[in-house]
Amino acid sequence: MINASSPSPRHAPEAQPLPPPVSERPGGHVQQIVNGVVSFGILLCLAELGVADHLADRPRNVTDLAELCEADPEHLHRILRAATSLGLLRATGQPGTYALTREGRTLRQDLPDSMRPAVLMAADPLWLESIRLLPETVRAGRPALPRPTYDYLADNPAAGDLFHRFMRTRAIPVAEAIAKLDFRGVRTVVDVGGGGGTVLGKVLRTHTHCTGVLLERPDVAGIAAQHLAALGLRDRCTTVEGDFFHSVPEGADVYLLTSIVHNWSDDDAGLILRNVRKAMESADRPAQVWCVDLLRPAFPARFGPPPMATILDVRMLGLFGGGQERSQAEYESLMARNGLKVTRVEPFPNDMHLMVATLPE
Ligand SMILES: C[S@@+](CC[C@H](N)C(=O)[O-])C[C@H]1O[C@@H](n2cnc3c(N)ncnc32)[C@H](O)[C@@H]1O
């Protein structure tokens, strides 16, 4: 019998099914999670040594590969053997000879959506430190990292360059999906925290009647300007060095916020959204926010490989403290608290979603 104080069955949290046994031995599953660190090391060797590039056109034996990768043949062979059990390489049957699998091929550097920058980024000292310090971050309720992540990237050009290469690979499918949206009536697009310019570049190349403004930190604006100039967009695009916590350029029909809001706490994200709203209010025609991020599923997590939103949520916790993946309801509430109304939500590639927001009527 259900009494008034029990939640109705419709709203009761879903019962969690018992996880199937992963291992006969208690602790076997925990051991598998620990082993992930070593699996990552194997992946890192393939990515950093360029193994996938040297196997791109044909299988090779370990002696040839070691020479091409400038590695010790015996040590490399141990990694190649281990990589076969991870499904990244396969032994061809010829002694000591390996070929790429479909997954291993994604590590090739020459692919625009190569996974190599994602692997190298995960091995960056600050990224690794953010994981090692997670317990401290959780204890303190703020990032335990010695300095803000974007300041670190600004002061370490090699890490910054890698981050922007990594973001570019992630931005390509987003850029393609945005470029397919309806740009009739859109004259100017402001890309807020537009990174290396992948998204704005694609939009302006596809919609030749549009002009664009890319707002970025001073250390990144130059990278974006170079990319946009290389696309031949110098006359239709301006790059603005600035700070979205301070202000956002006025005069746009569309304000892009791709992979921005999830970096920040509600307070910080609110500041960015209010600056966007202020810019929208100053215009003589209605404007829209096009916000693209992952949506955290509202239902309780189930046993199984964690979805990307769960992994990125913890990644944001480690790197940014208040950064987080939000549910659709949390985005709607965040927008509403900062004077914006979500009017449309649609799925985007890579588990992302587009949220269109306007000024309330
Ligand atoms: C996760 S990246 C997303 C980049 C791009 N929007 C995309 O989708 O690829 C976040 C971007 O915000 C920029 N950013 C961080 N703090 C900023 C600030 N205070 N003002 C302007 N841009 C900032 C970073 O430099 C970085 O390029």
The ligand 1 site (C-beta within 6 Å) comprises 150, 167, 171, 174, 193-195, 198-199, 215-217, 220, 243-245, 258-260, 263
Nearest one of 100, 159, 158, 154 to 126, comparing CA atoms: 159
Distance 48 CA to ligand 1 centre (A): 26
Separation CA 83–CA 45 (nearest Å):
10
Question: Do the Cβ atoms of 228 and 200 come closer than 8 Å?
Answer: yes
CA of 241 to the centre of ligand 1 (A): 12
According to CATH, the superfamily of the domain at 171-358 is Vaccinia Virus protein VP39 (3.40.50.150)
pLDDT recorded at residue 13? 47
Distance CA 358, CA 255 (A): 10
Rg (CA), the chain: 23
251-299 residue pLDDT tens: 999 999 999 999 999 999 999 999 999 999 998 889 999 999 999 987 7
Q: Cα of 246 to ligand 1 centre, how many Å?
A: 14
DSSP 283-324: SSS--EEEEEEEB--SSPP-SSSPPHHHHHHHHHHHHHSS--
* Percent of all residues in the chain with a pLDDT value above 70, rounded to a whole number: 93
**Own/partner long-range contacts of 212-215 (Cβ < 8 Å, ≥24 apart):** 212/188, 212/236, 212/237, 212/238, 213/188, 213/189, 213/237, 213/238, 213/239, 213/240, 213/249, 213/252, 214/190, 214/238, 214/239, 214/240, 215/190, 215/191, 215/240, 215/242, 215/244, 215/248, 215/249
Single pTM value for the model: 0.91
Q: In the beta sheet, which residues pair with residue 89? A: 100
The residue ranges of every structural domain in the chain are: 35-107, 171-358
3-state secondary structure of 69: helix
- pLDDT given at position 15: 58
> Which residue's CA is minimally distant from atom 3 of ligand 1?
259
DSSP helix/strand/coil, 232: coil
pLDDT attached to residue 297: 84
Q: In which band, very low, low, confident or very high, does the pLDDT at 304 lie, cut at 50, 70 and 90?
A: confident
Confidence of residue 8 (pLDDT cuts 50, 70, 90): very low
Measured in Å, residue 216 CA sits from the centre of ligand 1 at: 6
Q: Determine the atom of ligand 1 nearest the C-alpha atom of 167.
A: 9
Q: What CATH class does 35-107 carry?
A: mainly alpha
